[in-house]
């Protein structure tokens, strides 16, 4: 099905396979995202992943593990398109601006950071609605995704959907910077191989290591983003700008609190990456066989 001489799928099909893979990953891994958000919103003692999940199932029903899944699914395809287009455009722009001849590590870091910031604009309203739906304090407040959008706009104004934009930009810029910087270095230092299976293993290993390190760097920004987006306009607005908010969390709850939700975030990476890979390959194979008749 996947011999080494295979040429890549036409872009439209590649995009489709990527989007299906992305949605599949969300469908399987989403409960970890709910647990992550709950941990980041909490200011008290950390409860473990298993305890959080079993309490949710017991007190709120099994469906609660999937509450808020629609916004990330809705934005998955547009997010991929944006990421791809931004990567192309920034690579071309920076090559011209700074006279890079080929893709180097610093170029790939710069491009990754810029693409991450661009992506943040698109996803932030969807992230905000997701966080509100995941928040335990909002049980019984919102009736599904459309209702959450409507109620936020009605009571807080449309601009409220962009709360947390700055923190999201930080989160993405830091993640992409660390990830692309590392991937480049790891791949550069791995033995080159023509064997597609070996290449796949190399890519998967580089992606996983890159993902773990990038997550270690960006989790504090994710904590602050969740806190900012969780504020629903009632009571004191505790967090405004990202850097002071980091200091506030560290001062009030201790440095370790900047890593709330780290474990569920990291646990998603390996299996999540595996799902992306397998679904992408499977869908690509299906398209080649049944649509392109290769
Ligand atoms: C959600 O919808 C149900 C059925 O339409 C309704 O009874 C309930 O009051 C609604 N809850 C909220 C919080 O809007
Ligand atoms: C954040 O901004 C709001 C008004 O926009 C202000 O009332 C609040 O005190 C600020 N919070 C902090 C921690 O500066």
Verify whether ligand 2 is closer than 6 Å to residue 251 (CB atom): no
How many domains does the chain fold into? 1
Verify whether ligand 1 is closer than 6 Å to residue 44 (CB atom): no
Spacing, Cα 146 to ligand 1 middle (Å): 13
Would 4 be classed as within a structural domain?
no
Would 2 be classed as within a structural domain?
no
Would 286 be classed as within a structural domain?
yes
Quote the pTM value. 0.91
User: What is the dihedral sign for C-alpha 147, 148, 150, 155?
Assistant: positive
Which pLDDT does position 60 carry in this prediction?
96
Would 6 be classed as within a structural domain?
no
Domain housing 75: 11-291
Would 149 be classed as within a structural domain?
yes
Return the structure tokens found at 156: 């807080």
The string of pLDDT tens digits covering residues 162-216 is 999 999 999 999 998 898 888 878 877 877 778 878 877 777 788 888 899 999 9
* 26 and 69 Cβ atoms separated by less than 8 Å: yes
Return the structure tokens found at 9: 């799928």
Would 56 be classed as within a structural domain?
yes
Verify whether ligand 1 is closer than 6 Å to residue 140 (CB atom): yes
The C-alpha atoms of residue 28 and residue 21 are separated, in whole angstroms, by: 11
Domain holding 51: CATH number? Answer: 1.50.40.10
The string of pLDDT tens digits covering residues 87-142 is 889 999 999 999 888 888 889 889 989 999 999 999 999 999 999 999 999 999 99
| Helices assigned H by DSSP within the chain | 11-41, 49-60, 70-98, 105-134, 144-156, 165-189, 196-230, 242-253, 262-290
Q: Which ligand is nearest to the CA of 142?
A: 1
End-to-end CA distance of the chain: 10
Would 5 be classed as within a structural domain?
no
Would 1 be classed as within a structural domain?
no
């Amino acid at each position: 099905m996947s011999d080494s001489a295979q040429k890549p799928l036409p872009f439209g099909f590649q995009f489709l396979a990527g989007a299906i893979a992305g949605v599949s990953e969300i469908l399987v891994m989403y409960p970890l995202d709910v647990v992550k958000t709950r941990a980041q919103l909490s200011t008290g003692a950390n409860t473990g992943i298993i305890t959080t999940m079993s309490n949710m199932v017991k007190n709120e029903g099994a469906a609660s593990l999937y509450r808020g899944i629609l916004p990330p699914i809705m934005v998955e395809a547009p997010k991929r398109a944006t990421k791809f287009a931004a990567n192309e455009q920034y690579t071309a722009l920076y090559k011209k601006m700074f006279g890079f001849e080929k893709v180097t590590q610093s170029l790939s870091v710069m491009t990754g950071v810029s693409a991450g910031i661009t992506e943040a604009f698109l996803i932030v309203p969807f992230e905000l609605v997701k966080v509100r739906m995941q928040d335990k304090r909002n049980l019984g407040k919102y009736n599904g995704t459309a209702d959450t959008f409507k109620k936020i706009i009605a009571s807080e104004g449309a601009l409220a959907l962009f709360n947390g934009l700055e923190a999201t930009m930080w989160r993405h810029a830091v993640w992409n910077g660390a990830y692309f910087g590392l991937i480049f270095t790891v791949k550069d230092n791995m033995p080159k191989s023509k064997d597609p299976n070996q290449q796949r293993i190399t890519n998967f290993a580089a992606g996983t290591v890159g993902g773990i390190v990038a997550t270690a760097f960006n989790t504090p920004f994710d904590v602050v983003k969740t806190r900012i987006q969780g504020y629903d306009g009632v009571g004191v607005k505790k967090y405004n700008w990202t850097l002071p908010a980091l200091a506030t969390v560290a001062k009030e709850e201790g440095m370790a609190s900047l890593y709330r939700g780290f474990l569920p975030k990291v646990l998603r990476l390996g299996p999540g990456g595996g799902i992306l890979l397998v679904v992408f390959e499977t869908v690509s194979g299906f398209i080649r066989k049944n649509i392109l008749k290769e």
